[in-house]
Amino acid sequence: MKKLLIVILAAVAVISASIVFAADNNSAKVIAYYFHGSFRCYTCTNMEKYSKEAIEANFKDDLASGSLEFKAVNVEEQGNEHFVNDYKLYTKSLILSQVKDGKEVKSKNLDKIWELARNKQKFTDYVAGEIKEFMKGIQ
């Protein structure tokens, strides 16, 4: 009887984990990628820092739920080179990527970050506003 109960509990645990995993894979989310190379100047480092701070300050609930992620990616590291072609990168960039069912459905390059790099408040406002707009209607 005990063995049967243990087998049933184990089966329930596996099924529950599978359902949660499937739900996570099927839900839509946004990934904010900050792409950089190995050489990092002061401005480039600040743009990553400002991007991360803007996201953490304005999207705490989205970060906690997993509907928004921030990832800094060195495109010069092995395995990351494809991002240069995927997003037609020519410099350090902040890209928003909407992913649904494990596939990207849309993306946007926040190309004004270079113009605003010397003004933290305008930079932060721009990034937060663009992410809010990008995330509208994502389930």
Rg of the chain over all Cα atoms, to the nearest angstrom: 19
Distance in angstroms (rounded) separating the CA atoms of residues 117 and 76: 22
Place of tokens 């970060």: 63
The pLDDT of residue 27 = 81
What phi and psi values does residue 125 have, to the nearest 5 degrees?
-60, -45
Q: Does position 93 have pLDDT exceeding 60, yes or no?
A: yes
Q: Does position 21 have pLDDT exceeding 90, yes or no?
A: no
- Compute the half-sphere exposure of residue 103: CA atoms within 13 Å on the CB side of its CA: 2
Are the beta carbons of 35 and 89 closer than 8 angstroms?
A: yes
Are the beta carbons of 35 and 93 closer than 8 angstroms?
A: yes
The pLDDT of residue 119 = 97
User: What average pLDDT does the chain have?
Assistant: 85
Query: In this predicted model, which residue has the larger pLDDT, 59 or 23?
Result: 59
Q: Does position 46 have pLDDT exceeding 60, yes or no?
A: yes
Q: Does position 114 have pLDDT exceeding 90, yes or no?
A: yes
How would residue 2 be classed by pLDDT, with cut points 50, 70 and 90?
low
End-to-end C-alpha distance for the chain, whole angstroms? 44
Place of tokens 């049967």: 4
Q: Does position 14 have pLDDT exceeding 70, yes or no?
A: no
Place of tokens 């003004």: 119
Does this model's pTM top 0.85? My answer is: no
**Mean pLDDT on 94-112:** 96
